[in-house]
Amino acid sequence: MEEHRENSLDTLLIRTEEYLKTSFELFKLNTLKEILKVVSAVVTRIIVILFFFMFFLIASIAVAILIGDTLGELWYGFMIVAAFYGIIATIISLFLSNWFKNVVSNFIIKQIQK
């Protein structure tokens, strides 16, 4: 009878150990899945933003050339476009920097909670 108890206790300990190992592996895999989901969403957004940036860069060069050609000196157009972007950057840094932080934070939180 005593030997049966020890055998049962050993079996219980072995199964408990296996259960804990399996639970830990499952936790690691679920965590990895969530991290990959967030990273893939962020990378996708970065790629889209990069393409928009390239579009606006090329469009800005075209507008600068057009303005410069119209005014007679090519560099006038580039200076006007640069001043325009400088004004926009100043406005954003003064008034919208907290808004950008909130948008990015909310995006990451939403991706984590999915």
Q: Which of 41, 34, 40, 43 is nearest to 112 (CA)?
A: 34
H or E element: which one contains 17? helix 2-71
Tell me: pLDDT of 45 over 60.
Answer: yes
| pTM across the whole model | 0.61
Confidence check: pLDDT of 24 > 90: yes
Whole-angstrom distance, CA of residue 74 vs CA of residue 71: 8
The pLDDT tens digits for 73-100 are 999 999 999 999 999 999 888 887 778 7
pLDDT in tens, 49-79: 999 999 999 999 999 999 999 999 999 999 9
Write down the residue that tokens 């899945």 correspond to.
33
